[in-house]
Amino acid sequence: MKLPERVTVYEVGPRDGLQNEARNVPTADKIAFIHALAEAGLRHIEITSFVSPRWIPQLADSAEVARGVRRREGLTLSALVPNRRGLDAALAAGMKEIAVCLSASETHNKKNINKTIAETLAAFGEVVAPAQAAGVRVRAYVSTVFGCPYEGDVDPARAVWLSRELRAMGVYQVSLGDTIGVANPRQVERVLELVLAEVPVDDVAVHFHDTQGTALANCLAALQLGVTTIDAAVGGLGGCPYAPGAAGNLATDDLVAMLHAMDIATGVDLDKLVEASRLAAAFVGHDLPSKYLKAHLGKQARARRQAERGA
C-alpha cells in the first residue's frame, strides 16, 4: 500500500461541529475547546464562521470567539466566510485565514447560501482577492461532491470544474466535501483521479461526513492517491443544518488513531485529543459518535473498576 508519511489534520469541530448543535454553547466554552484542540497538537483549526446569525445562530458569537482565542506561532486559525460582509467581520476580528464554500449541486447551494452557483462564484470576487490583498489565505470547500440531499447523484465533472474555478481565483486549497456522508472509496478514487489531473495533490483536501460509516475507508482511498490533508471534527461532531439526514464529520479521534496505527505522523497527541472530545461532549450535553473515544472511555472505566476491586 502506498501511503504518505505525514498527514495534516484540518480540525473543523468548532465550526462544522458546533453549527449543528441544538444547545447554545457559551463563548467561553468554545474558546476553551479551541485551546484544548491546539494543546492536543492540531495546527489547523476552523474556529467559527462569519455567516448570517439568522442562518446559523449557533455561531453568532464568531467575533468574540475569534478575538478571544490565543494565537501562537505555527497555529493556523481559520473561519468560514460566505460574503464580503463576513470577510470584513473576519478581518476586523484578526483572522489570517478564511474559507469560502459552495456546492457542486445547485439545490444544496441555494438552500445553504441562497444563491445560484454562478452568483456564488461571482460573489467570491468580492471575497477572495480582497482577502488576499489583506494578507489572508483563502481555502475553499466544494460541498455535495459525492451526493446531494436534494438532487441525489452529482456528476464528478462538477467538482473538477469548481476546483478549477476556485484555483483560478487564487484559493490555496480545495476541500472536496461529502456533505451528507454517502461517498464510497471507489467513488472517492474516481472523483480524485479526475480532480488530481488538474490540481496538484497538495492543493486538495478531503472532507467526509460519517453518516454511513464509510469515512475512514474513504480517507484510505484518498491517502493512496497521495492526498495529505484531511478535515475532521473531534468526537465526530458536526453536520450541515441545510443538508437533511447528514450525520457528523469523520471523528478526528478515529482518524488520528488509524493514522498513528499505520505509522503515519500527524503531530497530534491522541490522549489530549480525547480530553478535548470529553470537553465537547460535556458542553454539548450528549455522547459523541467517535468510536475511538467510546473504546477509550470504556477501557478507562474497566481499569477503574478493576483498581477499585483490587483496592
Specify the residue for cell string 462564484: 121
Report how far residue 76's alpha carbon sits from residue 227's, in angstroms, rounded to the nearest whole number.
Answer: 19
Our CA dihedral for 226, 232, 235, 237, rounded to 10 degrees, sits at -150
Residue of the chain from 47, 233, 240, 268 that contacts ligand HMG (CB under 6 A):
240
Whichever of 78 and 266 has its CB closer to ligand HMG, that residue is: 78
Residue of the chain from 58, 112, 173, 218 that contacts ligand HMG (CB under 6 A):
112
Residues with Cβ within 8 Å of residue 139, at least 6 apart in sequence = 78, 97, 98, 99, 100, 171, 172, 173, 174, 175, 205
Site residues (CB under 6 A) for ligand HMG, limited to 127-166 = 141, 143
**Choosing among ligand HMG, Mg ion, none, which partner's interface includes residue 141 (Cβ < 5 to 8 Å by kind)?**
ligand HMG
Residue of the chain from 7, 104, 113, 256 that contacts ligand HMG (CB under 6 A):
113
**Choosing among ligand HMG, Mg ion, none, which partner's interface includes residue 19 (Cβ < 5 to 8 Å by kind)?**
ligand HMG
Q: Which of 146, 280, 256 is nearest to 212 (CA)?
A: 146
Q: Is 210 in the site for Mg ion (CB under 5 A)?
A: no
- Strand partners of residue 209: 249
Whichever of 175 and 270 has its CB closer to ligand HMG, that residue is: 175
Q: How many CB atoms lie within 10 A of CB 310?
A: 6
Report how far residue 57's alpha carbon sits from residue 277's, in angstroms, rounded to the nearest whole number.
Answer: 22
Query: What is the distance, to the nearest Å, from the Cα of residue 282 to the centroid of all Cα atoms in its chain?
Result: 21
Q: Is 48 in the site for ligand HMG (CB under 6 A)?
A: no
Q: Is 97 in the site for ligand HMG (CB under 6 A)?
A: no
Beta-strand relationship, 204-208 and 137-143? unpaired
Please report the beta strands in 221-310, taking only residues with DSSP state E, as ranges in sequence order. Answer: 229-232
Site pattern 178..197 for ligand HMG (x: CB under 6 A): -x------------------
Q: Is 207 in the site for ligand HMG (CB under 6 A)?
A: yes
Helix, coil or strand: residue 83? coil
Residue of the chain from 27, 35, 41, 52 that contacts ligand HMG (CB under 6 A):
52
Residue of the chain from 48, 49, 173, 187 that contacts ligand HMG (CB under 6 A):
49
Q: Is 16 in the site for Mg ion (CB under 5 A)?
A: yes
